[in-house]
C-alpha cells in the first residue's frame, strides 16, 4: 500500500513509519523540517517537506495514496498568543479538504481519550472538533479515530518537582486509577488500522496499562532510587498557579487543569471504560521507567 504518515519523526510517527516500511508499504512522511529528510529516507521512507497549513501541499502529497495517518502536531504551550483549540480546528479543516480533494478513501486519525466530550475536557476539546470535522467527510471515506489514553512520557514533566520536593504533585492521580499508554503501542495500533479496510467510522481506544498514581510513583521511585516516592494531590488552583508561574499560556494552563480534573473525576474516561479494549499494549510502565530514570539522572 501507499501510505502517508504525518507527524514527522515524532514519538508515534517514527515507530509507525519503521513498522510500515518493514511490512513492505511505500511510505511518505510529511515533515515541516528539511533537516529531517535524510533521517526519514534512512528509515526507507520518502520525505515530503512542507506545512500542514498548506492545503495544496497536503492535497498533492495525499494524491494517489491508499491510506493516510493524520495527527495534529504539538504546539508551543508557552506562546501567549496561541489559540490552541483554533489551531486544532484549522488543521482539522485542512486535513478534511485535502482528503476529499485527493481522493483518499482510508484515514486513521490520532484522537484522544476524552474526545467524546464537547465540554469539561480542557485542551482535548481540540481533538473533539477534529473528529467532528473529519466525520462530515463523505461516507465512502473510511475513518478510524484512535483514542490513546494518558501518555507515559507526560510523566517527564514531574522530574523537576521530584528533584525539588521529593514527590509527584498533581490535581489527579494518587489512589485513583489512570489508564496509561506507550507511543509504541499506539504506533502498532495505527499500523494495524492503516492496513485494515473498514466501512464508515470506527473508534479504537489504545491503552498499555492501568495504574493508580501511587502505583506509578512506586514504579518510578524504584527506578530512580527513591523507593518511598509518593504521588500527592494538590488543588486545581495550585496546579494552575504552578503552570502559569513557569510562563505557560494562561488559557492553555486552564485547559490542562480542567483536563486533569476531568480525568480525576472519572468523566474523561467514562467512554473509554465502556469500550475498553480486550487487549492492552505490550509496553508497561516498568519498561518506560528505564527511560524515566535516564532522564532523571541526566537532568
157 touches 165 (CB < 8 A):
no
> For the chain, what is the mean pLDDT?
97
**SS3 state of residue 82:** coil
**Selection from 290, 249, 261 nearest residue 155 by Cα:** 290
- CA count, 13 A, side-chain hemisphere, 82: 20
Conformational region of residue 230, where left means phi above 0, alpha means psi within -120 to 50, and beta covers everything else: beta
**Can you read off the three cell numbers belonging to residue 256?**
490542562
Question: What are residue 202's DSSP bridge partners?
Answer: 144
Question: What are residue 49's DSSP bridge partners?
Answer: 31
**Selection from 54, 1, 60 nearest residue 27 by Cα:** 1
Polymer length in residues for the chain: 299
Model pLDDT for residues 28-79, shown as the tens digit of each residue: 999 999 999 999 999 999 999 999 999 999 999 999 999 999 999 999 999 9
CATH architecture of the domain covering 2-152+182-208: 3-Layer(aba) Sandwich (3.40)
Q: Which are the contacts of 51, defined by CB distance < 8 A and separation ≥ 6?
A: 32, 57
Mean local confidence (pLDDT), 91-113: 98
118 touches 175 (CB < 8 A):
no
Model pLDDT for residues 215-238, shown as the tens digit of each residue: 999 999 999 999 999 999 999 999
Enter the pTM of the model. Answer: 0.97
Amino acid at each position: 500500500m501507499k501510505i502517508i504518515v504525518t507527524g514527522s519523526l515524532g514519538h508515534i510517527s517514527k515507530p509507525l513509519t519503521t513498522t510500515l516500511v518493514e511490512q513492505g508499504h511505500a511510505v511518505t512522511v510529511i515533515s515541516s523540517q528539511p533537516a529531517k529528510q535524510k533521517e526519514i529516507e534512512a528509515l526507507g521512507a520518502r520525505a515530503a517537506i512542507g506545512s500542514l497549513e498548506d492545503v495544496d501541499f497536503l492535497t498533492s502529497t495525499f494524491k494517489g495514496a491508499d491510506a493516510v495517518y493524520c495527527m495534529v502536531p504539538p504546539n508551543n504551550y508557552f506562546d501567549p498568543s496561541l489559540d490552541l483549540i483554533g489551531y486544532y480546528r484549522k488543521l482539522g479543516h485542512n486535513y478534511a479538504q485535502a482528503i476529499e480533494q485527493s481522493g483518499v478513501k482510508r484515514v486513521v486519525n490520532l484522537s484522544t481519550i476524552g474526545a467524546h466530550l464537547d465540554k469539561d475536557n480542557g485542551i482535548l476539546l481540540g481533538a473533539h472538533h477534529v473528529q467532528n470535522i473529519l466525520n462530515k467527510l463523505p461516507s465512502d471515506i473510511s475513518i478510524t479515530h484512535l483514542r490513546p489514553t494518558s501518555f507515559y512520557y507526560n510523566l517527564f514533566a514531574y522530574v523537576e518537582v521530584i528533584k525539588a520536593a521529593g514527590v509527584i504533585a498533581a490535581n489527579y492521580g494518587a489512589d485513583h486509577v489512570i489508564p496509561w499508554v506507550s507511543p509504541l503501542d499506539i504506533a502498532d495500533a495505527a499500523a494495524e488500522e492503516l492496513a485494515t479496510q473498514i466501512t464508515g467510522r470506527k473508534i479504537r481506544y489504545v491503552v498499555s496499562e492501568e495504574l493508580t498514581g501511587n502505583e506509578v510513583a512506586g514504579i518510578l521511585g524504584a527506578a530512580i532510587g527513591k523507593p518511598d516516592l509518593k504521588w500527592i494531590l494538590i488543588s486545581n488552583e495550585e496546579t494552575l498557579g504552578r503552570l502559569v508561574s513557569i510562563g505557560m499560556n494562561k488559557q492553555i494552563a486552564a485547559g490542562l487543569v480542567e483536563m486533569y480534573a476531568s480525568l480525576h473525576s472519572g468523566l474523561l474516561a467514562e467512554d473509554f471504560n465502556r469500550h475498553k479494549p480486550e487487549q492492552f499494549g505490550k509496553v508497561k510502565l516498568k519498561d518506560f521507567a528505564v527511560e524515566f530514570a535516564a532522564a532523571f539522572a541526566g537532568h
